[in-house]
Amino acid sequence: MNDRRQQKAYRFPQSVAYVSHRSTATLLRAETGFDTMALSRGLEFLTLLHLLLCCESLSLPLMEFSIKHTWDSNPVDHDPIRVVFSRGLGGLKMFVHGPFFNDPAAPAGPPSQPFPGLWDYEVVESFFLDNTTDNYLEVELCPHGQHLILLLSGVGQAFTQQLPMVFTTTITGNRWFGEALIPWSYFPPNVNKMNSYAIHGSGEKRTYEALYPIPKEEIVEGQTPNFHRLEYFQDFRLQSIMGEDWIQPESDLWLGKP
């Protein structure tokens, strides 16, 4: 891909970073710092460094998002969870890195396997939507290694879930790093919107965070978190990662859906 095409194709909002050599240096400085958390971040940093250098050597674009607000638009009180997307072999790579709260305790299921009801645990989620049909994919990743995939047609209407996926995690002190490969067959046709979320804590300390939260002026008394408010999702194109000439593979999983 030539420089002209890169400049034309990858104009992301402020929450997104196209990783060039210059932006890599900026990101690495932000990730390491020279603070007391440097040692606990060491393994995560090395893993992220490997990811960035590999993608740069292959001229692969990344999209990075930081979840900086709660679902109702309050700033988070910790280093934000970061979600990175890049191209993978047969699917979309999704990387998660950030604080490990270890609350609630780990799900009872084995790592690298689907776990129903994973949203009741510590989890990071990304939703990929075609807003012309309300068909969307929900991907949930837990720092303990469990995952959950849901295919939905209509708001909150899951018709398939607990699909297999390659997913690995590393926990180092109070940080964690996860890497998943989401097969193209799981994505609905014509993805054009996205949102990401993070959940942690128990009881009254349960915290729900959103990349694109509900604006404060639209919150009503008694309202509770709802990650299926599709009207707050924002623009997202897989072609921004895969290239403008890329065509999403067809999937039998979505046959018969609007």
Residues 6+ apart with CB under 8 A from 147: 112, 113, 114, 115, 118, 139, 140, 141, 165, 167, 180
What does the mean pLDDT of the chain come to?
A: 86
CA proximity to 244, closest of 35, 14, 1: 1
Q: What is the dihedral of CA 80, 81, 87, 92, to 10 degrees?
A: -140
DSSP-derived 3-state class of residue 27 = helix
How many domains does the chain fold into?
Answer: 1
| Block residue for tokens 């638009």 | 73
Residue 6 lies in a domain: no
Residue 15 lies in a domain: no
Most confident of 18-32, 41-55, 195-209: 195-209
pLDDT band at 4 (very low <50, low <70, confident <90, very high): very low
Average pLDDT score over residue span 108-127 = 98
DSSP-derived 3-state class of residue 232 = helix
| Block residue for tokens 């960035």 | 52
Residue 209 lies in a domain: yes
What's the burial of 43, exposed, middle or buried (CB within 10 Å: 0-12/13-18/19+)?
middle
Query: Percent of the chain at pLDDT above 90?
Result: 76
Residue 17 lies in a domain: no
Each residue of 49-85: pLDDT tens digit?
Answer: 555 555 444 556 899 999 999 999 999 999 999 999 9
pLDDT of the residue at 51: 56
pLDDT of the residue at 59: 54
Residue 109 lies in a domain: yes
Residue 234 lies in a domain: yes
Identity of the amino acid at 206: R
Residue 97 lies in a domain: yes
pLDDT of the residue at 61: 81
**CATH at residue 107:** 2.60.40.1190
The phi and psi torsions of 80 (rounded to 5 degrees) equal -70, 150
pLDDT of the residue at 222: 94
pLDDT of the residue at 42: 54
Reply yes or no on whether the pLDDT at 41 is more than 60: no
Query: Structural domain of residue 90, as residue ranges?
Result: 67-218+225-244
Structure tokens at 209: 């965070």
What's the burial of 209, exposed, middle or buried (CB within 10 Å: 0-12/13-18/19+)?
buried
Residue 5 lies in a domain: no
Reply yes or no on whether the pLDDT at 144 is more than 80: yes
